[in-house]
Structure 1
Amino acid sequence: MSISDRPSLGIGLRVLSGILFTAMVVCVKAVSDSVPVGQTVFFRSFFALIPLVIFLALRQEFPSGLATQRPVGHLIRSGFGAAAMFASFASVARLPVAEAILIAQLAPLFTAIAAVVFLSEKLTDWRIAGLALGFTGVIVLVWPELGGGTLDGRRLFGIGFGLLTAVLTAFALIMVRSLNRTESPGAIAFYFVVVAMIGGLLSLPWGWVLPDMQTILLLVLAGLFGGFAHIAMTLSFRYAEASRLAPFEYITLLWPVLADLLIFGLTLSSSFLFALPLVLGGAAVAAAEKRPAKAP
């Protein structure tokens, strides 16, 4: 079947990937006070390999599909992606899940800037408007600490790590655009997970802990949920066009909000409620930009 034949399946898979991704972040948040970030990154990456390798094998892309013409490109993309994972988990440890994921939504806006710098794309009015809205949202989110007279250092570091996550993710996405010309999505995902796993392992000298069985289970689930989330997202683009799936990107923020309310017992701050439409509006404006038609 062609892409347009089963859009409802594509949409369902995209929504499922958002739920699985949130489940992964909930697991990471649950262990963040007792497990170092590097150890969490290792477990998340190692156990994500299991569903990923099974998926590639079922598609007859393992190991043949891992052949690459651009090993250095994979290393650079994976390095940015692994660094983004470290920053993301550090942000999740310091912020409510919904706030950490909201700040990460700035990644497409930073990608627009990176595309201007590295791919010689134009900084259009759409992108400028999207950037203005997105950064206004971040200022609104952080304003209680900056303007209220009481600085919460842990929260400010969390926001800083969230912004760093968005920047690093943007660079990783730029590299994915470049790699997609010659490399398979399976190879791009596989090498990223392997590099992230090695990065987590290299943090061993900075202190790992011996977790109890419940913590080990949460770390394993973080990896499995992350791996299945990536597979669901990859499959969603097989059954529905990217433009059809774009509005459902923003539904994914519903699950972190529910996680904060129902699992962690956190209330939504007024700054988050004001920042939410600004950040999502900025991403939506940037995504709504019309691409010039190609010459026949």
Structure 2
Amino acid sequence: MKAVATLRPVANERLGITLRILSTLAFALMGVCVKALGDTVPLGQVVFFRSAVALLPLVAFLWWRGDWPRGLVTSRPFGHIGRCVMGAAAMFTSFATIRLLPLAEATMLSYLAPVMLALLGWALLGEQLKARRVAGVALGLAGAAAFCLPAFAGVLPDAGGLGVVLGLVTAVLTAGALIQVRRLTLLGEGAGAIAFWFAVFSALGGLLTLPWGWVWPGPAGLMLLIATGLAGGLAHILMTLSFAHADASALAPFEYLAVLWAVALGFAFFGEVPGIAFLLAGPLVLIGAVIARPARPR
């Protein structure tokens, strides 16, 4: 991405890898906060706090690197709207999935997005599906099937079937949003503008759910809501900085630590132990995601 490339005066691969690992941990901690809130706070309210609070570290980061406010100027408002609609919808379905499924399973399903991205890139952008990516798509879809069959057979907890459906929808929506991000990047839009307007749009989307009944959270709930936004915003900043110090090829293997964090944190905070569906599907989905994922632009 153009905005990331400007941050690369000195390559420091070890620092880049450390930042990428920390970003996966921050994303996992965000999931812990969402799951800890449970059904006590409406989903739209969680989305609002996740996006609005995340603006604070994001604005500070953009100001620090000299992109505030000039880096927010865009000549592609409708392109941003398309990206934001799909991304915000994905946030709603992702948080609902976390509520319904164990944290590890919900995180694993999100890694079907690169598989869906490969298919959408072929269908919408005319990208070639070479043998390697075809194999990645096949493995990912096989993993999805291996996960869905036990889920609908009742292996997962109550509402697990709905959680799996929402997880699959999240993967499709995320892939669609990434396709649009790729289009915007190729048209010269900066990463700062893409991230900022997405956060603003998602916050407004969450705010629109206010008439359906928000709650006044207690101190613990308020802390979790704020932590959700801070963790999500920090995760994006750390991820951006990691690509400023190391190549995508060096960082890619560490991206999938998010699943291991989810397993560990799910057990530590909620006593969740991955079931047979996860053990069957997880390796297939993750290997498929590694193979199917395109090289990240720098």
Shift of the 288–38 alpha-carbon distance from structure 1 to 2, 3 Å rule, reads closer
Corresponding residue for residue 180 of structure 2: 175
Amino acid at match of 2:259: L
> Which of these residues, 99, 122, 135, is aligned with residue 128 of structure 2?
122
1:275 aligns with 2:271: no
The superposition leaves residues 65-110 of structure 1 with CA deviations (integer Å, 9 ceiling, x where unpaired) of 1011111111111111111100100100100111011000010111
Amino acid at match of 2:160: R
Q: Report SS of the residue matched to 2:75.
A: coil
Amino acid at match of 1:93: R
Corresponding residue for residue 61 of structure 1: 67
Q: Report SS of the residue matched to 1:180.
A: helix
Corresponding residue for residue 142 of structure 1: 148
> Which of these residues, 104, 107, 117, is aligned with residue 113 of structure 2?
107
Corresponding residue for residue 215 of structure 2: 209
1:245 aligns with 2:256: no
1:74-93 maps to which residues of 2 (within 5 A)? 74-93=80-99
1:164 aligns with 2:169: yes
1:133 aligns with 2:139: yes
Amino acid at match of 1:284: V
Shift of residue 3, structure 1, vs aligned partner: 6.8
Q: Take 1:173 and 1:126, find their aligned partners in 2: how far apart are those partners?
A: 20
Q: Report SS of the residue matched to 1:120.
A: coil
Greater alpha carbon shift after TM alignment, 24-33 vs 189-198: 24-33
Q: Take 1:246 and 1:110, find their aligned partners in 2: how far apart are those partners?
A: 18
Corresponding residue for residue 272 of structure 2: 266
Q: Take 1:190 and 1:34, find their aligned partners in 2: how far apart are those partners?
A: 28
Corresponding residue for residue 292 of structure 1: none
Shift of residue 122, structure 1, vs aligned partner: 1.8
The superposition leaves residues 215-242 of structure 1 with CA deviations (integer Å, 9 ceiling, x where unpaired) of 0100000000100000000111111111
Amino acid at match of 2:163: G
Q: Report SS of the residue matched to 2:270.
A: coil
Q: Take 1:275 and 1:112, find their aligned partners in 2: how far apart are those partners?
A: 19
TM-score (normalised: structure 2):
0.92
TM-score (normalised: structure 1):
0.93
Contact 1:10 1:237 survives alignment (8 Å)? yes
Contact 2:23 2:239 survives alignment (8 Å)? yes
Q: Take 1:245 and 1:104, find their aligned partners in 2: how far apart are those partners?
A: 18
Unaligned runs of 5+ in 1: 290-296
Corresponding residue for residue 238 of structure 2: 232
Contact 2:152 2:161 survives alignment (8 Å)? no
Q: Take 1:212 and 1:147, find their aligned partners in 2: how far apart are those partners?
A: 38
* Percent of aligned pairs with the same amino acid: 50
1:181-192 maps to which residues of 2 (within 5 A)? 181=186, 182-192=188-198
Q: Take 1:15 and 1:233, find their aligned partners in 2: how far apart are those partners?
A: 9
Shift of residue 18, structure 1, vs aligned partner: 0.3
Give the root-mean-square deviation of aligned CA atoms: 1.7
1:200 aligns with 2:231: no
Shift of the 147–213 alpha-carbon distance from structure 1 to 2, 3 Å rule, reads closer
Contact 1:4 1:241 survives alignment (8 Å)? no
Corresponding residue for residue 4 of structure 2: none
Greater alpha carbon shift after TM alignment, 95-104 vs 279-288: 279-288
Amino acid at match of 2:23: S
Q: Take 1:195 and 1:184, find their aligned partners in 2: how far apart are those partners?
A: 17
Shift of the 55–145 alpha-carbon distance from structure 1 to 2, 3 Å rule, reads closer
Q: Report SS of the residue matched to 2:29.
A: helix
Unaligned runs of 5+ in 2: 1-6
Amino acid at match of 1:169: T
> Which of these residues, 81, 99, 103, is aligned with residue 97 of structure 1?
103
Shift of residue 153, structure 1, vs aligned partner: 5.6
Q: How many residues align?
A: 288
